[in-house]
Structure formats: C-alpha cells, structure tokens
C-alpha cells in the first residue's frame, strides 16, 4: 500500500480524510506516496501555532532561538542520505542538482543560526538611533522591531522542497514567529520528511513548526491580521493571494516571489574566446541544465553583441551537446527530469510559443535519453533558441514576456549597450541579471543602471572566475526577490530577512526610558 504522508498541525500528526493525491516518480512513472489535507481543522491549527508556538518562541532570546536552528541543522545533516534518495525519486534530480536544494537549505539554516547567535540575549531589536523631537533632547523617539504575534504561512513551489522550506523558516523562527509550511504537492515528500525529522527530535516548542501537505484550500481563510504569508510560484496564484480578504480587509502582510525572465549580458568589450566570453557561455549552459532549468533564478535571455551572436551560439551548442539526459540513478546522466507530466506539457507548449518568433540553435528534442523510456519519463533535452538579428530581438515580444520553466533559453543580439539595457528591462523586473566583462568601471556602471529593476546583479569578471557563487545560486547573505514581474518581494539578505517577521514601532519617551531599551537585553 502506498505511504500516506501525514500533516503536522495543532502539535500532532494527522491524516486527511480523503483518498489523497499521488506523488509520482517523474522518470519511472511509479506512485511513491500520497498526500491529503481534507478535513483538517485549520483554524484550530493556526490558533495553536499562534498561542502555543508563538508564546514559547517569543519567550526566548535570539541566541536561544539560534541554538534551536543549530540543533535542527545537526538533525538534517544526519539524514542527508535519505533526503537525496527522496529527491532522486520524487524530483528526478541528479545528485549535484539535489545538493543545490538539500545542502543549500541546510547551509541557509546554519547561516541564520550564526546570525542569531550574534544578536545575543535580546528579544527585540533597535532600529536606528534615537531622534530628538524638539530642541530639548529630553524627549526622543526610538524605533524598535518586535516579533509579530501571529503565524507565518509559507506556500512554496515544487522546485526547491528543501531550500524553499528553510530559507523562509530560518529567519521566521529566529524572529520568534511560528511557521506553517504548505509545500507544493508534487514534491511534498522531501519537505514533509525534513519537518518530521526535526519534529521527532523535539527541538522546537509545540506549535512552532507545522506542515500541511495536499490542498491549500482554507489556508488563507485561517489567517488573522498579525499573521504573514510568503508565497513562491506563478503570477496567477500570486494575484489570487493578493486579492484574498485576509490581505485586502485584514492587512495580512504578504511577500511574493513570482515569474522572472532573468538575463545574462555580455558587455561590448568582450572578444570571441576571451575569458569573459567563455565565462558567459559556461554559466549560461549551466543555468539551462541545473535542475533541468526549473529554477526561478535560471537564465532565460542571453544578450550578446551582434557580432558575437554566431560565436556564442556555436560555443553553447558544443557544450549543450555534451549534456546527457535521463534517469538520475545512472551515473552517466548529467540532467534529470522535469517534475511531472503537467510540467513537461507546459514546457513543450512554451517552447512552441517561443519558436514562432525565434530560430532553434540547439534542438533538445534530438538528445537521446539515457536509461529512460521517452514515453514515460518527464525528460526533455536543453533547447537554445535565438533571434538572429537585432530587429528580431526587438520584435520577438514573446521572448520578453514568456518564461518557459525548463531547460530553455534564448540568445539575443544587441546593437549597442543602450540597446542591450533596454532589452534587459523588457523583462519588467527580475530576480537576477548577470554581467560579463573585464572592465571594472564599465561593469560597475551597468550594474547600477540595472539595479533598480533587479533584486540581485551578479557581476562576473576574470578576477572572480573561480570565486563567484554562480548566477542562479541564492546565497543567504544577499537579497532574494525582485520588483515588478518578479513579485515585488524580498527574502534573505542576512538580517534584513527578519524585518518581514517583525513590526516596527516608534517609542516616544524620555531619554532615561529609552536608555533602558538600549541597556537591557530583555
């Protein structure tokens, strides 16, 4: 009988009352487990988290909560092998791609444990310096940040069941806010197993950590004014969340990460075969193939000087031809599967949409699968499209409007730097853009030009070729999110992430009273 993954809410494991939704192996086509949240008393579960989990967490200092995060890291590290097995079976990822998710999530959790330890024995944070309210400095204003007395609801995407969990949960729990995780159904197994291991270890107080697997129906209805919700997924679902009465009537705070047509830009001074040229080609191919292109930060548009279009296309095609696609259990395979048949159909449909305005530079459909049945496996080879000339870069509106969430990217030639910047901005706000060149002044100037429309600008010059963390890798020290189409949200960024889970207030008082805020840890 197929395993039914339980939900953990109201401080206990509970099964839904329905038959559940099947989680599938995207390569073998076999059923792995089922999830179901039918019949759960969600309002009671949210109340339990608020009242029990929230009170217990707020009673602790930042350093004490950081110690809980450190303990969770040890539990997760001890179970890494099991997580890799689940990722291979449920997400269809090769080992290196699983590491991005699993080890990336654990690393992020550990980073916030260290940040919290440095905050010490406090239960609130000062925000800036005190400001006098008149000529006499006796009466002043001091802004403070205190944990919100609500829950944090996380509605996550299918592509990062580990990292998506911990990059949100780490700053929330460190802030003193209990979390309720709703993983994407397709890959809920890894999220549920990680939560189960931490819960079974008895690390966090009752109500601090909950997980609901299956349908999201009723989750938003259970929110109250001091709760917060963080969502990663499609713009369509984001619009539904933003229009929910919890948000429109009760002012529930919302963070959204949505679609993103990220770009990579090779500056005009790069020559064929130069180090900057080779760095762009290598990174663009890597971003197309890691996790089969199922990353919100993946490069979708590659902008190069018109004179280098053919050279870049040839160099990328040579690299892409070496990408073996198929069963991730086979050591010869370098790129696994898409998450399920629905995602496969979506990628195929998106490809057809883009091909009507582009040419095919490398055809992924010609790549034979390794150790996988093409009629069953949700595998698709990497496909590089292009617009051939600068007029095409301007007229191919679908390239700038449609994100195909798979191993697909489009090569775009540009006329001059002003044209290149205009093309990048047609993405209408992205999570990340990366720049490749060798002139520090030129790279710096372009980075500032594009900073207003991107959450992160990743600048690669030859001197950091071996040091940079990669276009698509989201490091906890840097902000993750983006304006416009990308959702307008912000996550991570070191201690900045804690702001979302705190409420800012101004305390207006005498200098003597304000001194007690600065001098006492409580």
Instruction: Using alpha carbons only, give the angle 51, 53, 57 rounded to the nearest 5 degrees.
Output: 115
Q: How many CA atoms lie within 13 A of 461 on its CB side?
A: 10
Contact 378, 24 (CB under 8 A): no
Catalytic residue among 167, 257, 490, 491: 257
| Whether 64 is catalytic | no
The per-residue b/e assignment along 318-330, b for 16 or more CB within 10 angstroms, e otherwise, is ebbeebbbbbbbe
Task: Identify the active-site residue in 213, 287, 296, 403.
Answer: 296
Phi/psi of residue 23, each to 5°?
Answer: -100, 130
Report which secondary-structure segment, H or E, holds 471. none
Distance of alpha carbon 36 from alpha carbon 104, whole angstroms:
28
- CA dist., res. 29 & res. 340, Å (int): 9
331, exposed or middle or buried, with CB in 10 Å at 0-12, 13-18, 19+? exposed
Positive or negative: CA dihedral 282, 283, 286, 287: negative
Tell me how far apart the alpha carbons of residues 50 and 152 are, in angstroms, rounded to a whole number. 9
Q: How far apart are CA 502 and CA 307, in angstroms?
A: 51
Q: Return all residues near 120 (Cβ < 8 A) that are at least 6 apart.
A: 61, 62, 63, 521
Tell me how many degrees the CA angle 449-452-454 measures, rounded to the nearest 5.
100
Phi, psi values for residue 269, rounded to 5°: -80, -5
* Closest to 165 (Cα-Cα) out of 228, 113, 119, 209: 209
Contact 454, 478 (CB under 8 A): no
Question: Is residue 378 flagged as an active site residue?
Answer: no
Alpha helices in 92-230 (DSSP H): 95-119, 163-175, 188-200
**What is the distance between the alpha carbons of residues 399 and 412, in angstroms, rounded to a whole number?**
9
Nearest to residue 479, comparing CAs of 497, 492, 498?
Answer: 492
Active site residues: 257, 296
């Amino acid at each position: 009988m197929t395993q039914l993954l339980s939900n953990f809410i109201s401080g206990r494991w509970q099964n839904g009352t329905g038959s559940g939704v099947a989680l599938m192996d995207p390569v073998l086509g076999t059923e792995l487990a089922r999830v179901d949240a039918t019949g759960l008393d969600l309002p009671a579960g949210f109340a339990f988290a608020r009242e029990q989990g929230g009170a217990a967490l707020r009673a602790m200092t930042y350093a004490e909560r950081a110690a809980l995060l450190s303990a969770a890291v040890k539990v997760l590290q001890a179970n890494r092998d099991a997580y890799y097995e689940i990722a291979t079976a449920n997400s269809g990822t090769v080992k290196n791609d699983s590491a991005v998710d699993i080890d990336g999530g654990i690393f992020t959790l550990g980073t916030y444990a260290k940040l919290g330890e440095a905050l010490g024995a406090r239960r609130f944070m000062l925000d800036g310096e005190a400001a006098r309210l008149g000529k006499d400095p006796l009466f002043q204003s001091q802004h403070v940040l205190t944990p919100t007395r609500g829950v944090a609801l996380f509605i996550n995407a299918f592509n990062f069941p580990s990292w998506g969990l911990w990059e949100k949960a780490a700053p929330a729990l460190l802030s003193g806010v209990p979390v309720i995780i709703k993983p994407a159904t397709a890959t809920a197994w890894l999220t549920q197993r990680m939560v189960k291991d931490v819960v079974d270890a008895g690390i966090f107080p009752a109500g601090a950590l909950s997980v609901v697997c299956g349908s999201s129906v009723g989750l938003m209805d259970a929110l109250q004014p001091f709760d917060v919700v963080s969502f990663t997924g499609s713009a369509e679902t984001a619009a539904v969340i933003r229009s929910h009465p919890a948000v429109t009537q009760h002012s529930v705070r919302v963070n959204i990460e949505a679609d993103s047509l990220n770009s990579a830009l090779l500056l005009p001074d790069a020559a064929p075969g130069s180090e900057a040229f080779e760095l762009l080609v290598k990174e663009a191919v890597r971003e197309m193939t890691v996790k089969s292109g199922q990353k919100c930060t993946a490069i979708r548009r590659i902008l190069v000087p018109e004179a280098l279009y053919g050279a870049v296309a040839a160099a990328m095609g040579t690299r892409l031809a070496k990408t073996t696609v198929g069963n991730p259990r086979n050591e010869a395979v370098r790129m696994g599967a898409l998450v399920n048949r629905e995602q496969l159909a979506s990628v195929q449909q998106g490809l057809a949409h883009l091909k009507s305005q582009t040419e095919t530079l490398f055809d992924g459909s010609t790549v034979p699968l390794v150790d996988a049945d093409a009629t069953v496996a949700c595998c698709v080879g990497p496909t590089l499209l292009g617009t051939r000339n600068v007029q095409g870069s301007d007229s191919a509106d679908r390239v700038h409007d449609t994100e195909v969430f798979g191993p697909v990217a489009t090569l775009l030639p540009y006329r001059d730097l002003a044209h290149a910047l205009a093309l990048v901005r047609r993405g209408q706000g992205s999570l990340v853009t990366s720049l490749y060149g060798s002139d520090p002044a030129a790279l710096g100037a372009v980075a500032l030009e594009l900073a207003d429309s991107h959450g992160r600008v990743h600048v690669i010059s030859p001197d950091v070729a071996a040091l940079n963390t990669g276009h698509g890798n989201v490091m906890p020290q840097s902000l993750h999110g983006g304006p416009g189409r990308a959702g307008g949200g912000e996550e991570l960024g070191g201690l900045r992430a804690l702001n979302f889970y705190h409420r800012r207030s101004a305390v207006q008082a005498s200098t003597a009273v304000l001194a007690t805020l600065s001098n006492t840890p409580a």
